[in-house]
Structure 1
Amino acid sequence: MPPTETDLADAVHRAARAALLDLFRDHPDHRFYYCTLVTPGEAYGPVLSAWSVQALAEESARQGCAPLDIKWSYADSPFCGYGEHHMEPVRPLFEARGELFDLPDGEWEAEFDLRLRAMETAMARLDAEGLFGTGADRHSVVVTVEVPSETGNDERALRLNPPEALTDWLAEAAVLEHG
């Protein structure tokens, strides 16, 4: 019997919590503003990525670009893949559900949605536990579950965050999208 959606959510929750706690403990002087779980279009087990104000300043200087050019890019973050040893045990659970694109037409979309819901549930639980801050502190962190170049990322961000947390993200994403 393959792992259920709840099994996936529980495993991602445990792994992401451990990875994020390591990140916050290892970088106590950083002010993190973005924490995301990323998976490719095949919806494999996720990778953690995050940005802090300090890391953005350093990385944009290193790359010779404007901070806004990379501010919301999970891939450009020096914290992309952080806590990989915590996330690695989650992957076999996703694999046990089968290859997404080996499923019959119509079934792969449902499986894709199930996997993303499990990741979103995990991040929502971490938020409810106060891992991303509480009150006004929570309003300074954007939490997402992303699939690069796929639709649905915005909807998940809107569900996972209080509106106050999304003010800059929404404005800056619009600027980036429309040049």
Structure 2
Amino acid sequence: MTELDDTMRVVIVVRGVPSGRGLMGLHRALGMGLSEVRARIQTGRPLLDAELFRDDHDEVSRVVEAVLEQLAETDHSIHECAGRESPSPTNEVTIEVLRQTLSGLAPEAAGSAPGEPDPALTASIADATRKAITRLRSQASGPFCVYALLTSGEALRPYLSVTLHGPGRWDLADSPFALAGDEFFAPLAQVYDARGDLFDMAPADADAEYWRRLASMEAALHALDDEGFFGVGAERAQTLLLVSPMPPDHSDAGFARRLNPPGELLSAWLDEAAEGYPRASTR
């Protein structure tokens, strides 16, 4: 299997005939010769075929949006193609779904639409996280790279894994700080027990509670970040915040994109370690 088999692509096929002004707009948006734009449209070849979620993801998103703006009044189709797939009715998507994908919030990228956090649970998780990291910082000098709140597949009480910058920066399980300050998280077991066992709930209720718990973990990190707990400016850019069940699943990319500003560190993690959408570059 080639590397391309692991990619996700956005493909745009134009079925109508753009106006002269539209053709010029496509020429500028794509950086493609006007004759090539015409030829692709006339022969039914994809006008755009671009791989998603590598370190040039923002540029790909910009080009896609510019092309779609020029095609607003022209018949066209949008496709999300996995691996070597060709565009077809089975992988055609709406512009709304594509935009969710580009933002990292599509159900396929995030596992499910994130739930609403529980304020009390969020506050308890944030307090435990603050205490655990404060203790760690007093005992080890870093430089710390990843701060990850993790949970089991059953969404039991979270635990904290912290990594150092270097070759093992994405290795949450084998980090020397894989259970940092766990004594501060242990009391949360009673809080989680009081919320009930997911396996005893009706499926819809269990699903809602599962995402509520993960959303509360995300909200806890957001609250600490808003306080400046992870630094600001250049210092913050060297820190990655994560939320994930263990083992990781395809929800992790959505959490990472919402928790972190765009930058080299986030791009590297998405490209090298995320379980969310496959990552690739423009073709």
Q: Same fold (TM over 0.5)?
A: yes
1:35 has 2:158 as partner: no
Amino acid at match of 1:47: Y
Q: Distance in 2 between matches of 1:101 and 1:81?
A: 26
Tell me by how many angstroms 1:171 deviates.
2.6
1:19 has 2:132 as partner: yes
User: Per-residue displacement from partner, 1:119-144 (whole Å, max 9, x unpaired)?
Assistant: 11101111111111101110111101
Q: Distance in 2 between matches of 1:46 and 1:75?
A: 14
TM-score scaled by structure 2? 0.53
Give 5+ residue unaligned stretches, structure 2.
1-116
1:168 has 2:280 as partner: no
Q: Distance in 1 between matches of 2:200 and 2:172?
A: 28
Q: Specify the structure having the higher radius of gyration (Cα).
A: 2
Match of 2:254 in 1: 155
Tell me by how many angstroms 1:20 deviates.
0.6
Q: Distance in 2 between matches of 1:77 and 1:173?
A: 15
Q: Distance in 2 between matches of 1:43 and 1:102?
A: 13
Q: Distance in 1 between matches of 2:260 and 2:136?
A: 20
How many residues align structurally? 158
Tell me by how many angstroms 1:23 deviates.
0.9
Secondary structure at 1:163 match in 2? coil
Extract structure 1 runs of 4+ deviating beyond 6 A. none
Match of 1:59 in 2: none
Match of 1:50 in 2: 162
Match of 1:114 in 2: 212
Secondary structure at 2:153 match in 1? coil
Q: Contact between 1:41 and 1:150, CA under 8 Å: does it hold in 2?
A: no
The answer to which structure, 1 or 2, has the higher relative contact order (CA under 8 A, 6+ apart) is 1
TM-score scaled by structure 1? 0.82
Structure number having the greater strand percentage: 2
Q: Distance in 2 between matches of 1:150 and 1:172?
A: 14
